[in-house]
Structures are given as structure tokens and as C-alpha cells.
């Protein structure tokens, strides 16, 4: 009698089995890690079209696996609840410690009823608030409903920690997030901030070059058609599949955690892989590493100067003057390279430098802005005020006079005298 081949999927608990029920999502977050590149302002799209397995196919395949007792299995997507048989799948899987990631837009009561009827419950779940796609009150209502429904034993509610990444925020985002934090605190919902996993080895998750490397991983990723991959990049590219869960007998064995395999796609990896603690890489010198750098500055290279000025404004408002200064210099560099007038950006830089207590550079930046056409009262007044602080009023006047009428400057100076008189000479 022929030997039965060993079960091809690693079964130790450390292996994270993930069922991507669908590639579709009803939201389109621009910081979603399921994008080919982490370009600010570019929204997530489904990474491909699939003939999704039906609920019955998922359940029949997964329930036939010898993984008991209670192997961890995450139901995810996209948004997994968009799968037409989501409740059926969740309530008919046997022998799994079920986990769920969801943006909470589904009918919680209906799914909870169905799972209760089958004596089932998710063990854990993960729900992140996405401020551009649902109002704080709506999301909080859903979070409380889920927490109180018994659908999940230990749900986790979260927000993406984008404080250091204003590239992916706008006013609506900030307003909704602040409101949610206020409401959640008042209503007693426990939440956490997640690390933003948008960079890869200090680069902007940019997929612009590949390297040969050794990789090890504890992922078992199953795509919406049931094909098995060891990482999200290979899943979304449908590359190097090990087989399909509906024909598990034909599946090649997946490497175990700690078992190294060669991959020439390093550089295109998804940012989850190593950050989650479930994977690592080894370079040609035998050095084992995970991604650690998370440098927000890398995103500026993709942004237009106007958008970078917005980023700088947000940095300045949250007290990150050094980042604001760096961003504005990057914007000026871009504008100069294109032969564009950067005067407005110089004016922003002047204000930022002043905030960073670099008065001399602030004055130089403001005078430069005015000389190149920014003659608004507040910019001129700002330059004169800094000049007064530095005892350089004559120099400032001499630089300004060719660019604005003497009468205008005299009016601004008189107004300044009322709020901040000139110090007597010698003081």
C-alpha cells in the first residue's frame, strides 16, 4: 500500500493561516498595505479578479484538514464580510481558533445570530477605524455592538498610528480621528494605535528593485480561489503557488518556520511579512534581519510640492518643526528642479524656521519669498518682526524696498510699532 504524503501545510500554532475570502473592499484607504506601492494619495484597489470559492467550498476544504485542535485561522480580505457566504463560512468551520479582520461594515447581529445558532464564536478579531470612510459615531456604534454581541471573545479595536505620517492624512481624517478618540474615551471603548507598516527596509515600500535573498516565514496565505502562498506579495501576484486547498493532496509542502528558502523577489515583499514577527530574511553574508527602519521622509519623493506643503503644515501644527523644515526643503528642491516659482514655499519655510528658533535663516527665507513675489502683509510683517529681533531692520528695509512701495512698508511698520515697538538703539 502506498504511503500517504504528509500534510503539506505547517500546523504548529505559530504558523498564521490566513484565508483571504475576497480581494474586494468597500473602503479604499490610501495607507492600506495591500497596494503595489505606498504612494500617498493613491487609494487601494482590489489586487485582482477572482472566481471566489463558495462558502461550501471553503468549509469542505478547511474542515477536511487534520489541524485540530483549534488551529489559528484568520478570515480576512479585502473586507471578508463582502463574501456572499461570510456568515456561513464563519459558522461552519470546525476545529479552528477563528480570528477576523474587518472594517465593521457588516450586519453584526445577523452574523452573531448565525454563529450562536451553530455554537460558534471568533476567538479574536481586529477592527481598525478608517476615518475617511465612516463617521466616528457609526464606527463606534458598530464597535460597541460587536463587543457586546458575543460574536468575538476578545475583539481588538484600533486606529492606524499616522501621527508621524501626515502624508496619508487630511483635515477630514484628523477631525474624525480626534472625534472618535473623544467619543471612545467617553463611552469606555478600549482601543489601541497600530504601527503603520508602510515602509520596507527604510524605503517607501516602492517595489523598484528586487534582490536574491533567503526568506523564512510562518504564513500560510490562501487566496480567494483557494491557492496557497507563503507571503502576501506572492499571493497578490499569483506567483509560486504551492497548490490549492480544494486539492490538498496535490499541494507541495510549505517551508516550516525557521526553514530558509531562496527568493529573488525580496524588495517587493509586503510590509507585514517581517514586521509581524512571523518572518525574517538572511542576506548573502548570513546576516539575519527584519525590517526596522520606518522613515517617514521616504514618502515625499512621490508627492507634489503643494501636497508636501500641506504635510509640512500638519507637522508644524503637531510640533514637529524639524520634519516640517525637511519637507519644505524637499518641496523647494522639486520646484527648483522643474523651474517653478517656489516663493510661497520659501514663505512657509521662513515661518517654520522661525518656529524652530532659527531666526537668521527665517529672515533670509522670508526676504527671499518677498523678493520672488510674496508681498502679502503677513509675510512682510513677519520679515520685519524677525529683523527687529535680530537688529537687522535696515538690512531688511533695503532688501524689501525694491519689491514693494515705500508707503506700504511704512504702513506695516507703523502697525508693528503699535504691537511691538522697535527697541532703542544699543539695547
Residues with Cβ < 8 Å from 205, sequence gap 6 or more? 33, 37, 38, 198, 199, 271
69-98: contacts with ligand SF4 (CB under 6 A): 78-79
Determine the interface stretch with ligand SF4 among 49-57, 176-184, 212-220, 369-377 (rule: CB under 6 A): 212-220
Determine the interface stretch with ligand SF4 among 261-269, 344-352, 363-371, 377-385 (rule: CB under 6 A): 261-269
Binding mask 98-117 for ligand SF4 (x = CB under 6 A): -----x--------------
Is residue 233 at the binding interface for ligand SF4, with CB under 6 A as the rule?
yes
Q: How many residues does the chain have?
A: 427
Residues with Cβ < 8 Å from 342, sequence gap 6 or more? 305, 331, 332, 335, 336, 372
Is residue 278 at the binding interface for ligand SF4, with CB under 6 A as the rule?
no
Query: With respect to ligand SF4, which residue has the nearer C-beta, 294 or 375?
Result: 294
Is residue 129 at the binding interface for ligand SF4, with CB under 6 A as the rule?
no
Query: With respect to ligand SF4, which residue has the nearer C-beta, 64 or 288?
Result: 288
Determine the interface stretch with ligand SF4 among 52-60, 63-71, 209-217, 318-326 (rule: CB under 6 A): 209-217
Query: With respect to ligand SF4, which residue has the nearer C-beta, 86 or 315?
Result: 86
Q: Which listed residue (15, 92, 169, 234) binds ligand SF4 by CB under 6 A?
A: 234
Residues with Cβ < 8 Å from 427, sequence gap 6 or more? none
Query: With respect to ligand SF4, which residue has the nearer C-beta, 45 or 403?
Result: 45
**Beta strands 288-289 and 279-282, pairing class:** antiparallel
End-to-end CA distance of the chain: 102
Distances (CA, A) of 70 to 11, 63, 136, 151, 339: 10, 11, 35, 17, 63
Q: Which listed residue (83, 92, 130, 169) binds ligand SF4 by CB under 6 A?
A: 130
Is residue 263 at the binding interface for ligand SF4, with CB under 6 A as the rule?
yes
Compute the distance between CA of residue 279 and CA of residue 95 in angstroms, rounded to an integer: 25
If phi > 0 it is left, if psi is from -120 to 50 it is alpha, else beta; for residue 158 that is beta
Is residue 222 at the binding interface for ligand SF4, with CB under 6 A as the rule?
no
Closest CA to 341 of 307, 297, 373, 309: 373
17-36: contacts with ligand SF4 (CB under 6 A): 25, 27-29, 32, 34
Half-sphere exposure of 409 (CA within 13 A, CB side): 17
Beta strand ranges found along 257-391 (DSSP E): 261-266, 279-282, 288-289
Size of the residue set binding ligand SF4 (CB under 6 A) = 24
Q: Which listed residue (18, 177, 231, 412) binds ligand SF4 by CB under 6 A?
A: 231
- Locate 425 and state its grid cell: 538703539
Residues at the site binding ligand SF4, with contacts judged by CB under 6 A: 25, 27-29, 32, 34, 44, 78-79, 103, 130, 213, 215, 217, 230-231, 233-234, 263, 265-266, 268-269, 273
Amino acid at each position: 500500500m502506498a504511503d500517504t504524503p504528509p500534510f503539506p501545510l505547517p500546523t504548529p500554532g505559530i504558523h498564521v493561516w490566513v484565508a483571504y475570502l475576497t480581494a474586494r473592499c468597500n473602503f479604499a484607504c490610501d495607507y492600506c498595505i495591500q497596494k503595489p506601492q505606498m504612494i500617498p494619495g493613491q487609494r487601494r484597489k482590489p489586487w485582482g479578479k477572482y472566481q471566489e470559492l463558495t462558502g461550501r467550498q471553503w468549509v469542505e476544504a478547511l474542515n477536511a484538514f487534520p489541524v485540530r485542535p483549534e488551529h489559528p485561522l484568520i478570515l480576512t480580505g479585502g473586507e471578508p464580510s463582502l463574501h456572499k457566504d461570510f456568515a456561513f463560512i464563519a459558522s461552519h468551520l470546525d476545529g479552528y481558533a477563528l480570528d477576523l479582520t474587518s472594517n465593521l461594515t457588516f450586519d453584526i447581529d445577523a452574523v452573531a445570530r448565525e454563529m450562536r445558532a451553530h455554537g460558534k464564536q471568533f476567538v479574536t478579531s481586529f477592527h481598525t477605524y478608517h476615518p475617511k470612510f465612516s463617521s466616528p459615531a457609526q464606527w463606534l456604534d458598530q464597535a460597541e455592538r460587536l463587543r457586546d454581541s458575543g460574536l468575538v471573545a476578545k475583539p481588538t479595536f484600533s486606529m492606524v498610528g499616522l501621527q508621524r505620517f501626515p502624508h496619508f492624512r487630511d483635515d477630514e481624517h484628523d477631525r474624525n480621528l480626534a472625534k472618535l478618540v473623544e467619543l471612545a474615551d467617553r463611552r469606555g471603548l478600549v482601543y489601541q494605535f497600530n504601527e503603520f507598516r508602510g515602509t520596507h527596509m527604510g524605503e517607501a515600500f516602492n517595489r523598484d528593485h528586487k534582490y536574491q535573498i533567503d526568506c523564512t516565514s510562518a504564513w500560510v496565505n490562501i487566496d480567494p480561489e483557494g491557492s496557497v502562498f507563503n507571503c502576501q506579495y506572492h499571493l497578490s501576484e499569483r506567483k509560486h503557488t504551492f497548490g490549492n486547498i480544494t486539492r490538498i493532496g496535490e499541494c507541495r509542502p510549505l517551508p516550516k518556520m525557521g526553514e530558509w528558502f531562496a527568493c529573488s523577489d525580496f524588495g517587493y515583499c509586503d510590509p507585514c511579512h517581517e514586521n509581524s514577527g512571523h518572518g525574517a530574511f538572511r542576506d548573502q553574508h548570513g546576516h539575519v534581519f527584519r525590517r526596522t527602519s520606518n522613515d517617514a521622509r521616504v514618502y515625499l519623493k512621490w508627492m507634489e510640492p503643494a501636497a508636501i506643503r500641506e504635510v509640512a503644515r500638519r507637522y508644524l501644527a503637531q510640533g514637529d518643526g524639524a520634519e516640517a523644515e525637511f519637507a519644505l526643503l524637499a518641496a523647494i528642491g522639486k520646484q527648483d528642479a522643474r523651474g517653478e516659482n517656489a516663493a510661497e514655499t520659501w514663505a512657509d519655510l521662513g515661518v517654520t524656521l522661525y518656529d524652530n528658533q532659527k531666526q537668521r535663516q527665517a529672515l533670509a527665507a522670508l526676504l527671499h519669498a518677498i523678493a520672488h513675489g510674496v508681498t502679502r502683509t503677513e509675510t512682510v510683517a513677519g520679515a520685519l518682526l524677525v529683523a527687529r529681533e535680530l537688529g537687522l531692520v535696515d538690512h531688511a528695509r533695503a532688501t524689501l524696498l525694491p519689491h514693494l512701495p515705500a508707503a506700504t512698508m511704512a504702513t506695516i511698520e507703523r502697525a508693528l510699532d503699535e504691537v511691538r515697538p522697535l527697541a532703542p538703539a544699543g539695547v
